[in-house]
Chains A and B, each alone.
Chain A
Amino acid sequence: MKIGRTVFSIFMARSKQKKKATPGQEALSTAKISNRYFLAAYFLFALQGGVALLGAVDLVIPDLPSPVPAEYGRSIHLGLAVFWPLIGTMGLINYFVQSELQRTIYSYRLLRWQFWLVFLSALAIYSTLALGIGNGREYLEGLPVFYLGVCLSLMLGIYNLFRTIIKAGRASPPVVCMVSGMMFLFLLLLPNAFSHSNPVADESIRFWVVHSWEEVAFELTTTGIVAAFLLETALADRKTVEKLLYLEITLTTVGGLFGVGHHYFWLGFPAYWLIIGTAFSCLQVVPVILLGYLAYKALRLKQPLSKRVKLSWLLILSSLFYHITGAAGLGLTITVPMINLYMHGTLLTSGHAHLALFGSLGLLVLGGSFYCLSSGAELDDQAFRRGKAGVLLLNGGLLAMGTALILAGMIETYLLRVAGMNFSAVQGVIRPYLLARAGGGLIFTSGDLLLAWTIFTVYKGKRARANPAPAK
């Protein structure tokens, strides 16, 4: 209850200052509003664990009653999977742009508007989907008007960031990286706020979010956030980071934008897209290797770290592990047209999506949000142990889910596409793997709730110390 009240008071807190705020008050208001992004991300992340687990169980227990129509449960899971990392990323960009430029964000009022627009749009999508009202486009199942709300929020964010850069009179490479990512988030979502009647056009534009959000926009924001984190914690020197970052931005943008071609192989596009998609997908791996190199250099420093930074770094390192293995390695393997021809449309894609979307993006946002939200606080031994257990469970659960889905996908590919078995019969054969996936989901959700609990208690303690109760 106390945690609930703390979260509620943060979300509802408004600046009562009517007069023009002083720089100190502005910084305080900005920090308060930024925290809302992180708390919202953790709250929606915890919710996603529960929703996804119910969906996984529904697949293996026949006739399981559900308050949400079965065909909309998956839509809510996908919607949550996209929007909590988006909200967390917005908060992280604000935090690290301020830290890089050494000044507060241009307008904390815009920051507040931006938050409420994206948060309420996301909530509206989940609520309407729970009632069976949607748009029937995978990953973008909500009503188009709500995506316009998200676009507006992104626009406000971009404007605020530009004004901040103009006021600061400079922009460092991590700032350029993060702001470019934010601009791509907006540009790639806007055409998807509308439906297109031709199914081939609709599918190809939909992949600007399904693929390009993840592999262009979020790839840029991730790189900028990791770079800014390494600089702030002195885990990297500015010269190395700045040297690599412009190369990262160029390769990510070019490789990612044209790499969308690997989703166009079997959509009704001409055959030369097989070459375009494969060639640019190979290019996409290079910036991931560069990011891995930055992390390797940071690890070699063997710098003593506080428990707070250590736990955040653990989450970010987990994210980089999945970035290299699940996203880049597995992603490139299944992009090869001869492999893709057989595995496309099987659970192998789902295994890749779990490792790439949650593994690389989700864990990064959790790590960054943890770092920012606990700023100014230190973890005691108990909180650190609890947090570490949460990270371990998340990784164990994710690896179990990913492995089960990949194995199920490989068996499905062979039985369906090579042995010629009927689809329904194949589902019976892979059921044990789906059960194992549900087990992995249970482990994952335990870690999800443990980590969310840890961050809420750390944050609550920080607030209690900042605002001590008046003596009786």
Chain B
Amino acid sequence: MSLANLDRSKGHGLKGYEMNGDDSKQRTPNAHAPNVHGSNAHGSKGHLLYLALGFPPAAKSCAYRMKEVANLAVERGWRVTVVNLDEEAWLREFGVDRSLAAQVHPSVRQVLLPLHRKDFDPDLQRYSWFRARHTARWLKIRRRIEKLPFPEPVWGLYRAPLERALERVHREDPVDLVMVSPAPYVTMAAAWRLHRRHGVPYVVDFRDGWSVDVIGGGEAFARDSPRGRWDSRVVRDASRCWFVNEPIKDFYADRYPDAADRLRVVRNGWDLHSAPAISSSDPGGEPGLRFTFLGNLKLPYPEFLNLVEAWKRARAADPALQEATLDFYGYIGASYASGANAYAKTIGEHASFGVRYHGPVPRAEVAKVYDESDALVLALPGGRFMTSGKVYEYMASGLPVVSVHAYEHGAADTLDGYPMWARPPGLDVDALEKAFVDAAAMARSATVRQRVAGRAHAERFERRRQLEPPISELEELVTQGRAR
């Protein structure tokens, strides 16, 4: 159902969002099946409602963390209900990865809402004359409307259906704890409402935070702005707030001193099945080194041009790089711009320099991509507030890493001590060229011992190790709540 229909369903309860109806789907083999610890639904540690827009099969970077949170919660005895959007919603955006969905624990119950982004609707038959003729003006008006119920473009209109969906889940099977994982931040409004109406505690897995500008650094919006007021009330009433790194947590602790004791750092990490096996023999120095970028390309375009130019120069300067390739895997652009934006054009124009784009990679094949690579390119936007999830996976591969990001960067703090790291002092072409040449030298001389040392450096960032302590804390939260 589109948002237009959603508006029409006002005043008719959950029309179009009936969870057992035709539009909304539930995926659960058996919600009350014994979990891995052998306890049944009613004997579990409680009912965790996980509001996670971007949960698998969505092909989004947040899906890996969401999947592991849900799986771990089930394994620890929680009854988990995930509220997510249906497959069509993700097909309109970055697509779906069914290999990732296959890794979700079968006991996780899923409620899928048919909310689809109208701005990503590819079917021109549904366009009005105004939209077809004045696409930019239509979008501008649409963005204003979207911000009316909640101050967030694109997602603001989802507030009412999300609130109704949470209410319905709670009515069917009372919820002990809500975990919400923005972005989109409108999900926080739904969790907050359930808390106000029924006293259900909630945890916000902010990941990057809302009021902090992780790309530009500093404050994203003022405290007395509409977004600031929402951020403030959500943090005030949250039982816990999780962030992916220390700088973001510190920012929130400074902004909300009263909440400082409820803020936690829960880093991203790497998954065991996505790390390649490290071969037992040293590389033979074959010609044609493969430099790989894997992920969602978000590097600012001018810096991306520097990267490509530096690659061209390094290829010309270093004979060892003459047959080398720079391979991009992952998503470049969403929806109709998928593989068709300025980045993709630039890659296409540099095919003769070994620059290639291979499209997205299913999660199950990620280890193979690392296995076929000789060095990895870590191209990231932002500064000290940005860590990215990719850096952990890159380290776990044990391969040489070329940093293409600001010198002072969250990822640099994580990479500090990694044995095969080419860290340029800046993002100018000369510095990046030297980094490529250095990384090529590392790739040619890399030994098994060095790769094992790289993996050892990443060991502490294995995702389960990061998630187990905070999830244990959730159990204490609910136990304390019941005792009161």
Whether A associates with B in a native complex is no
